[in-house]
Chains A and B, each alone.
Chain A
């Protein structure tokens, strides 16, 4: 059995020894492109003077926003939608005259090297017409605000509602206690190690782009759209990736990179962002503001729930309201109510950095809102926070009204029970009551639910190809992508198990090349192990049937009697060896009589989804004077169904917890009054370093999901959902101070506690 084993990553050797090739490693000699970024947040480019810049030695080409094709395109890496009304918003060109972001792309320089390109950028003179920057959603929706995009009144990108039951009459019941509060979350960034990088060149009439992307097939479509090219004339190659976390589920600079090569006769051009550009001009996690109102009956059962979400989109639509919508539905799902649910969600343009896909896609915000709110209600009603959650959380009979989405298996209760025991909840809740002094401790928890993939909200399609080699090993090609998360390793394990081979005899082709790779949507929505797993299982079945058919021809044994185990074709009734696969495969390649290449390829269109669950339990120590939050102990307990590889799953959990720790206590993108990002570098954008990072603990409840190809459910993104609210709730327990906005940074905490300590004295 390969599935369930903690085998080493299949790419470990290459990555540890430095032989694994990333985009930049593959580039070789190329021209260098650099982008000129606007130095205003809202306005218009009136003129660009390139006369001095073009004289600089080594400059090959300068392209301005006045010279690009008049084609608007959408950047979100969603599956293409055939129905007219549901297409992604197309709101930008390769370079833009209308400036909506401090850092907007207004010109590009191509030069023989970086120094020449940078010198040219400095020499370009730009004249702007400047408008007042729009820095908040409230400002954006006011009558006075300039309209950033045509057709979007009050700068509202989209508004949607979600209603269940009869909220309006239920909320009038006189036996309810109503709880209202506001909660907010901040803008943060993915901070993947490898910045956005690509290079492009032409092969005849076709454009080739080698890019650091999570979604090569989607990139082909969007580049085609952005450049007005037939999609078949675009070829995308995706090598190893230095992380994406959703930022590379957006099409950023690749169309511009391709266009620069095309206007230079197909010469190879490289476009690599700096970290500062990545911060300023790529994507981020949406900052959201929540208004919450909940009615609870005397028994502590939720009766009515209302939520208003205002999501700060920033300058361009990107994934836009899809993220806000996912936030809303997730908020509706994790708890149930006996009366009614009402949700209203706005996504609002502004002149801030663009919100896009980021690990867990709106769910960290939803969980922060719901877990803060549940903590408040439990506290005010004097109910233990765990008991309160158990009474109201999603159960196995959940079905989403009007959608083909339901719970198929849940270990959420077990997650809570295990976490509670691990952290020694009852003892510590009592022990840390009524503390005084500078150092105070507390424990907190938070829970979540998470879909697996995008069905029924979007398409779920995945392709897989397997070819048998002469020695009986198998080449495995997936449209689904390795982006550092370990996909290639679990694909290898699933393929080995489904075919009946040892993992060492499955060779996965890591690189996706849209000319040869099977079609798949790519890495997002924690979908791949579930969706691509089904493609692997189906394709392995086809390959096995072909192997058995060949064996029947070769040996005369009926195919239906055969099984393939550990590389041997055996009799499935008595386990006796029928043929060694190596012998059979060699025969299949070279038999004068029967030779044929045994291969299988298939696609699944998955119309199914399932929920994974989990909980975080944490103990913190708070320094009331310095505003420090030190994590004493923390555990994530997950129900992600059957775990394919416990070792890589654990790495996923640790990475997700680390990301959420930063979200909880440090990270925040900060803008000045001009709309300029002021901490867009790794010194001033605070992420926890190794020194700041506690020991991570994790556990899996390992419950079989009936819909998962191997009993598995989503894991990659869910890991980063619950730690932040759990840490916040632990700080609440330790200090009695309810922080409803993220992050719980040292300044905010210290100054808040200072007032409280004064009050105490």
Chain B
């Protein structure tokens, strides 16, 4: 039994925007997989909610004439996992989505919610950062775009004004074409768990040289982040065993890990050292058409 004061079921984006302006303190809810857990714990109890779950405009995946991929934020993780467009063009996104929650959570949880909760532990954002994904934000008579990376303001706070919501996620052709990638979720068990450190590597090679590399992390700082100083040092580097063994160490200055109730700072630093090389190796070894075990 959940303690809600009210819930409004919006039917269209405009309908939702109107409801949000009318009730600025109301909480937007889509899959609800985090909000309902919060309600059990006493967060937002007795509050007002606006559901955007039934808005058809917020669902689906398509590829436009410029070969840019659009993922609507109301798309569930299992819809992403079964999308032919994703499988064909950005299979690395599958590795970031396949270990989210359990099967039931993936049936109802959405990629938009995974971003807009503003959690550093979310699994999809590091890969979206690695793909330079763009967030499209719609308000009453307004529309703007922002890289997902800069859509975050601080933990649990997104760059959203009253009446604004995320309405599209775009991965541009130039950002995925020719790239391979892989996400490793390191958690304390292999399913139904939260990332202790998540590491995504997206890269492009030219012969045996790294032409481009984008390394990003979950739970390595207050927000999902790119390891930009490490990336700079790695572009143009020759690919060999030594690279895999050392690239993680280069990421350490980029991250700011902490001790929490789950693990120590020391362990997280160790994982930041270990995971990028493993993710890079996996990305490069993949034939790009199947999901490889995220271990």
Contacts and interface: CB of A to CB of B under 8 A. Distances in A.
Contact of B190 (A689, A747, A750): A689
Contact of B188 (A274, A690, A746): A746
A686 B186 CA distance: 14
Contacts of B270: 750-751, 754
Give the contact-size bracket for chain B: 20 to 34
A151 B42 CA distance: 40
B261 A679 contact: yes
Interface string A687-708: 1111110000000000000000
A626 interface: yes
A678 interface: yes
A362 B190 CA distance: 29
Contacts of B3: 115, 118-119
Interface in B239-295: 261-264, 266-267, 270-271, 274, 295
Contacts of A683: 192-194
A685 to B, nearest CB: 10
A670 B262 CA distance: 9
B264 to A, nearest CB: 7
A628 B188 CA distance: 9
Contacts, number: 58
B261 A688 contact: no
Contacts of A626: 186, 271, 274
B42 A122 contact: yes
A689 B192 contact: yes
Contacts of A513: none
B65 interface: no
Nearest to B46: A119
B191 A689 contact: yes
Given A115-B3, A626-B274, A686 B188 contact: yes
A751 B268 CA distance: 10
Interface in B60-75: none
Interface in B88-128: 102
B267 A751 contact: yes
A751 B193 contact: no
A114 B3 CA distance: 9
A194 interface: no
Interface in B32-61: 40, 42, 45-46
B191 A686 contact: no
Contact of A688 (B189, B267, B271, B295): B189
B261 A684 contact: yes
Contacts of B46: 119
A414 interface: no
Contacts of B190: 689, 691-692
B86 to A, nearest CB: 22
A672 interface: yes
A113 interface: yes
A114 B2 CA distance: 9
Interface string A726-750: 0000000000000000000111001
A308 interface: no
A115 B3 CA distance: 6
Contacts of A633: none
Interface residues of A, number: 31
Interface string B212-236: 0000000000000000000000000
A666 interface: yes
A750 B194 contact: no
B261 A625 contact: no
B186 A692 contact: no
Nearest to A689: B191
A678 B267 contact: no
Contact of B261 (A119, A672, A689, A746): A672
A684 B267 contact: no
Given A115-B1, A118-B3, A672-B261, A686 B266 contact: no
A666 B187 CA distance: 11
A66 B262 CA distance: 38
A119, A626, A666, A670 interface centre (most CB from chain B within 10 Å): A626
Contacts of A679: 261
A193 to B, nearest CB: 15
Contacts of B267: 747, 750-751
Interface in A297-324: none
A670 B261 contact: yes
Given A747-B267, A754-B270, A686 B189 contact: yes
Given A122-B42, A626-B274, A679-B261, A691 B188 contact: no
B260 to A, nearest CB: 10
Contacts of A113: 1
Nearest to B264: A747
Contacts of B266: 751
A39 B140 CA distance: 45
Interface in A101-139: 113-115, 118-119, 122
A122 B193 CA distance: 30
Contacts of B264: 747, 751
Contacts of A682: 192
Contacts of A688: 189
Contact of B189 (A274, A625, A666, A747): A666
A745 B46 CA distance: 39
A532 B155 CA distance: 59
A118 B274 CA distance: 45
B69 to A, nearest CB: 29
A745 B188 contact: yes
Given A113-B1, A118-B3, A691 B263 contact: no
Given A113-B1, A122-B42, A626-B186, A747 B192 contact: no
A14 to B, nearest CB: 24
B164 to A, nearest CB: 31
A108 to B, nearest CB: 18
A274 B188 CA distance: 24
Contact of B1 (A114, A122, A684, A747): A114
Nearest to A745: B188
A684 B194 CA distance: 9
A666 B42 contact: no
B277 to A, nearest CB: 10
A628 B3 CA distance: 41
Contacts of A122: 42
Contact of A747 (B42, B194, B263, B274): B263
A274 B263 CA distance: 26
Contacts of A754: 270
A119, A682, A689 interface centre (most CB from chain B within 10 Å): A689
B291 to A, nearest CB: 14
A113 B2 CA distance: 11
Interface in B1-46: 1, 3, 40, 42, 45-46
A343 to B, nearest CB: 35
A419 B11 CA distance: 63
A760 to B, nearest CB: 15
B219 to A, nearest CB: 14
Contacts of A687: 189
A510 to B, nearest CB: 29
Interface string A485-524: 0000000000000000000000000000000000000000
A700 B267 CA distance: 42
B193 A686 contact: yes
Nearest to B188: A686
A679, A688, A691 interface centre (most CB from chain B within 10 Å): A691
A424 B188 CA distance: 30
Name the 10 nearest CB pairs between A and B, nearest first: A691-B191, A689-B191, A114-B1, A691-B190, A747-B267, A678-B261, A115-B3, A625-B274, A692-B189, A692-B190
10 contacts: A115-B1, A119-B46, A626-B186, A666-B188, A684-B262, A689-B191, A691-B191, A747-B188, A750-B270, A751-B264
Interface of B: 1, 3, 40, 42, 45-46, 102, 186, 188-194, 261-264, 266-267, 270-271, 274, 295
Given A625-B274, A690-B191, A750-B270, 6 more contacts: A115-B1, A115-B3, A683-B194, A687-B189, A691-B189, A747-B267
